[in-house]
Protein backbone atom coordinates (compact mmCIF):
# COMPACT_ATOMS: atom_id res chain seq x y z
CA UNK A 1 0.00 0.00 0.00
CA UNK A 2 1.29 3.48 -0.83
CA UNK A 3 2.27 5.55 2.18
CA UNK A 4 -0.27 8.27 1.35
CA UNK A 5 -3.10 5.70 1.69
CA UNK A 6 -1.70 4.49 5.00
CA UNK A 7 -1.50 8.09 6.20
CA UNK A 8 -5.10 8.72 5.07
CA UNK A 9 -6.43 5.61 6.85
CA UNK A 10 -4.53 6.34 10.07
CA UNK A 11 -5.53 10.04 10.05
CA UNK A 12 -9.23 9.41 9.39
CA UNK A 13 -9.36 6.55 11.91
CA UNK A 14 -7.58 8.61 14.57
CA UNK A 15 -9.83 11.65 14.08
CA UNK A 16 -13.07 9.67 14.07
CA UNK A 17 -11.96 7.56 17.06
CA UNK A 18 -11.07 10.70 19.05
CA UNK A 19 -14.30 12.47 18.11
CA UNK A 20 -16.36 9.35 18.81
CA UNK A 21 -14.89 8.94 22.27
CA UNK A 22 -15.68 12.56 23.11
CA UNK A 23 -19.19 12.34 21.65
CA UNK A 24 -19.89 9.20 23.75
CA UNK A 25 -20.37 11.48 26.73
CA UNK A 26 -23.22 13.23 24.91
CA UNK A 27 -25.57 10.68 26.44
CA UNK A 28 -24.95 12.37 29.81
CA UNK A 29 -25.76 15.75 28.27
CA UNK A 30 -29.06 14.36 26.98
CA UNK A 31 -29.81 12.81 30.38
CA UNK A 32 -29.10 16.11 32.13
CA UNK A 33 -31.37 18.02 29.72
CA UNK A 34 -34.21 15.54 30.18
CA UNK A 35 -33.71 15.49 33.96
CA UNK A 36 -33.98 19.28 34.03
CA UNK A 37 -37.10 19.04 31.86
CA UNK A 38 -38.70 16.68 34.38
CA UNK A 39 -37.70 18.84 37.34
CA UNK A 40 -38.90 22.06 35.74
CA UNK A 41 -42.25 20.53 34.77
CA UNK A 42 -42.77 19.18 38.28
CA UNK A 43 -41.62 22.07 40.46
CA UNK A 44 -41.40 25.17 38.24
CA UNK A 45 -42.76 26.48 34.99
CA UNK A 46 -42.00 24.06 32.14
CA UNK A 47 -39.00 25.08 30.03
CA UNK A 48 -39.69 25.71 26.37
CA UNK A 49 -36.23 24.78 25.20
CA UNK A 50 -35.66 21.33 26.73
CA UNK A 51 -37.35 19.13 24.13
CA UNK A 52 -35.63 20.70 21.14
CA UNK A 53 -32.23 20.88 22.81
CA UNK A 54 -32.56 17.19 23.72
CA UNK A 55 -33.42 16.43 20.08
CA UNK A 56 -30.43 18.46 18.86
CA UNK A 57 -28.17 16.67 21.36
CA UNK A 58 -29.47 13.30 20.17
CA UNK A 59 -28.83 14.17 16.51
CA UNK A 60 -25.31 15.33 17.37
CA UNK A 61 -24.66 12.17 19.41
CA UNK A 62 -25.97 9.89 16.67
CA UNK A 63 -24.50 11.61 13.59
CA UNK A 64 -21.03 12.41 14.95
CA UNK A 65 -20.79 9.00 16.62
CA UNK A 66 -21.60 7.24 13.33
CA UNK A 67 -18.05 7.22 11.89
CA UNK A 68 -16.66 5.72 15.10
CA UNK A 69 -19.39 3.07 15.05
CA UNK A 70 -18.44 2.23 11.45
CA UNK A 71 -14.80 1.97 12.47
CA UNK A 72 -15.62 -0.48 15.26
CA UNK A 73 -17.88 -2.52 12.99
CA UNK A 74 -20.71 -2.13 15.49
CA UNK A 75 -23.22 -1.04 12.88
CA UNK A 76 -26.21 -3.31 12.30
CA UNK A 77 -25.79 -5.81 9.47
CA UNK A 78 -27.64 -8.89 8.30
CA UNK A 79 -25.60 -11.71 9.79
CA UNK A 80 -27.33 -14.66 8.16
CA UNK A 81 -24.38 -15.71 6.01
CA UNK A 82 -21.76 -13.07 6.80
CA UNK A 83 -20.68 -14.44 10.20
CA UNK A 84 -19.63 -17.78 8.71
CA UNK A 85 -17.45 -16.32 5.94
CA UNK A 86 -13.67 -16.10 6.00
CA UNK A 87 -11.99 -12.74 6.62
CA UNK A 88 -11.04 -12.44 2.95
CA UNK A 89 -14.57 -13.20 1.76
CA UNK A 90 -15.95 -10.63 4.20
CA UNK A 91 -13.46 -8.08 2.84
CA UNK A 92 -14.59 -8.80 -0.74
CA UNK A 93 -18.23 -8.37 0.23
CA UNK A 94 -17.55 -5.20 2.24
CA UNK A 95 -15.44 -3.73 -0.57
CA UNK A 96 -18.38 -4.17 -2.93
CA UNK A 97 -21.15 -2.96 -0.64
CA UNK A 98 -19.24 0.08 0.63
CA UNK A 99 -19.89 1.74 -2.74
CA UNK A 100 -23.63 1.56 -2.05
CA UNK A 101 -23.03 3.14 1.34
CA UNK A 102 -20.85 5.87 -0.18
CA UNK A 103 -23.54 6.66 -2.77
CA UNK A 104 -26.17 6.88 -0.04
CA UNK A 105 -23.96 9.11 2.13
CA UNK A 106 -23.22 11.30 -0.90
CA UNK A 107 -26.96 11.80 -1.48
CA UNK A 108 -27.45 12.58 2.23
CA UNK A 109 -24.56 15.07 2.17
CA UNK A 110 -25.91 16.81 -0.93
CA UNK A 111 -29.37 17.02 0.65
CA UNK A 112 -27.84 18.29 3.90
CA UNK A 113 -25.88 21.00 2.07
CA UNK A 114 -29.01 22.04 0.20
CA UNK A 115 -31.05 22.15 3.41
CA UNK A 116 -28.31 24.10 5.20
CA UNK A 117 -28.17 26.65 2.37
CA UNK A 118 -31.96 27.01 2.60
CA UNK A 119 -31.76 27.52 6.37
CA UNK A 120 -29.21 30.30 5.78
CA UNK A 121 -31.60 32.12 3.47
CA UNK A 122 -30.54 30.89 0.04
CA UNK A 123 -33.43 30.19 -2.31
CA UNK A 124 -31.61 30.08 -5.67
CA UNK A 125 -30.45 27.20 -7.83
CA UNK A 126 -26.64 27.18 -7.37
CA UNK A 127 -25.92 26.51 -3.69
CA UNK A 128 -22.18 26.07 -4.28
CA UNK A 129 -21.97 29.64 -5.59
CA UNK A 130 -23.79 30.76 -2.43
CA UNK A 131 -21.32 28.90 -0.21
CA UNK A 132 -18.42 30.38 -2.18
CA UNK A 133 -19.75 33.92 -1.68
CA UNK A 134 -20.42 33.25 2.00
CA UNK A 135 -16.93 31.88 2.69
CA UNK A 136 -15.23 34.62 0.65
CA UNK A 137 -17.21 37.32 2.44
CA UNK A 138 -16.38 35.82 5.84
CA UNK A 139 -12.62 35.59 5.20
CA UNK A 140 -12.33 39.00 3.51
CA UNK A 141 -14.75 41.08 5.58
CA UNK A 142 -15.49 39.06 8.69
CA UNK A 143 -18.84 38.06 10.19
CA UNK A 144 -20.55 41.33 9.23
CA UNK A 145 -19.72 40.85 5.55
CA UNK A 146 -20.90 37.23 5.73
CA UNK A 147 -24.12 38.44 7.35
CA UNK A 148 -24.83 40.58 4.29
CA UNK A 149 -24.72 37.47 2.06
CA UNK A 150 -27.22 35.64 4.24
CA UNK A 151 -30.93 35.90 3.67
CA UNK A 152 -33.87 35.04 5.91
CA UNK A 153 -32.57 32.64 8.58
CA UNK A 154 -34.82 29.59 9.06
CA UNK A 155 -36.18 29.00 12.55
CA UNK A 156 -38.04 26.12 14.13
CA UNK A 157 -41.84 26.61 14.12
CA UNK A 158 -42.09 25.92 17.86
CA UNK A 159 -42.60 28.38 20.71
CA UNK A 160 -38.85 28.56 21.44
CA UNK A 161 -37.95 29.18 17.74
CA UNK A 162 -34.23 28.30 17.63
CA UNK A 163 -32.30 28.81 14.39
CA UNK A 164 -31.83 25.53 12.54
CA UNK A 165 -28.60 26.02 10.60
CA UNK A 166 -26.23 24.88 13.43
CA UNK A 167 -27.77 21.41 13.66
CA UNK A 168 -27.85 21.15 9.87
CA UNK A 169 -24.14 22.00 9.72
CA UNK A 170 -23.45 19.29 12.31
CA UNK A 171 -25.39 16.80 10.17
CA UNK A 172 -23.33 17.74 7.08
CA UNK A 173 -20.09 17.33 9.03
CA UNK A 174 -21.25 13.91 10.25
CA UNK A 175 -22.17 12.76 6.72
CA UNK A 176 -18.79 13.96 5.43
CA UNK A 177 -16.91 12.16 8.22
CA UNK A 178 -18.89 8.97 7.49
CA UNK A 179 -17.91 9.28 3.83
CA UNK A 180 -14.25 9.57 4.83
CA UNK A 181 -14.60 6.58 7.16
CA UNK A 182 -16.24 4.57 4.37
CA UNK A 183 -13.28 5.34 2.12
CA UNK A 184 -10.93 4.31 4.92
CA UNK A 185 -12.84 1.03 5.35
CA UNK A 186 -12.63 0.41 1.59
CA UNK A 187 -8.85 0.87 1.65
CA UNK A 188 -8.60 -1.51 4.63
CA UNK A 189 -10.74 -4.10 2.80
CA UNK A 190 -8.53 -3.87 -0.30
CA UNK A 191 -5.47 -4.30 1.92
CA UNK A 192 -7.06 -7.39 3.51
CA UNK A 193 -7.84 -8.86 0.08
CA UNK A 194 -4.26 -8.28 -1.04
CA UNK A 195 -2.86 -9.62 2.24
CA UNK A 196 -1.18 -6.32 3.13
CA UNK A 197 -0.98 -4.76 6.61
CA UNK A 198 -1.96 -1.12 7.09
pLDDT for residue 58: 94
Flag whether pLDDT at 83 surpasses 80.
no
The C-alpha atoms of residue 138 and residue 37 are separated, in whole angstroms, by 37
Q: Domains of the chain: which residue ranges? A: 3-75+83-194
Half-sphere exposure of 92 (CA within 13 A, CB side): 6
pLDDT for residue 158: 85
Flag whether pLDDT at 100 surpasses 90.
yes
pLDDT for residue 33: 93
Selected residue with higher pLDDT from 104 and 123:
104
pLDDT digits (tens, 9 = 90+) for 122-135: 888 888 889 999 99
pLDDT for residue 151: 84
pLDDT digits (tens, 9 = 90+) for 133-152: 999 998 998 888 888 888 88
pTM of this structure? 0.89
Are 188 and 198 contacting, i.e. CB atoms less than 8 angstroms apart?
yes
The C-alpha atoms of residue 88 and residue 97 are separated, in whole angstroms, by 14
Q: Look at residues 197, 167, 179 and name the one whose alpha carbon lies nearest to residue 99.
A: 179
Flag whether pLDDT at 5 surpasses 80.
yes
pLDDT digits (tens, 9 = 90+) for 186-196: 999 999 999 88
Q: What is the DSSP letter of 2?
A: -
The C-alpha atoms of residue 70 and residue 141 are separated, in whole angstroms, by 39
How confident is residue 20, by pLDDT bands cut at 50, 70 and 90?
Answer: very high
Flag whether pLDDT at 1 surpasses 80.
no
Please report, for residues 51, 72, 123, 185, the alpha-carbon distance to residue 88 in angstroms, rounded to integers and kept in the order given.
46, 18, 48, 14
pLDDT digits (tens, 9 = 90+) for 152-182: 888 988 888 899 999 999 999 999 999 999 9
Q: Which residues contact 92 (CB under 8 A, 6 or more apart)?
A: 189, 193
Flag whether pLDDT at 25 surpasses 90.
yes
- What mean pLDDT, rounded, does the chain reach? 91
- Residue length of the chain: 198
Amino acid sequence: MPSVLRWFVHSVDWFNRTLGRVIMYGVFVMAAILLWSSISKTFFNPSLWTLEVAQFAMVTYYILGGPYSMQLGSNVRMDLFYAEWSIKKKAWFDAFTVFLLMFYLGVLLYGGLTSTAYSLGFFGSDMFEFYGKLITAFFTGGPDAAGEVLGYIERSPTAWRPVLWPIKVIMCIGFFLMLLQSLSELIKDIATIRGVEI
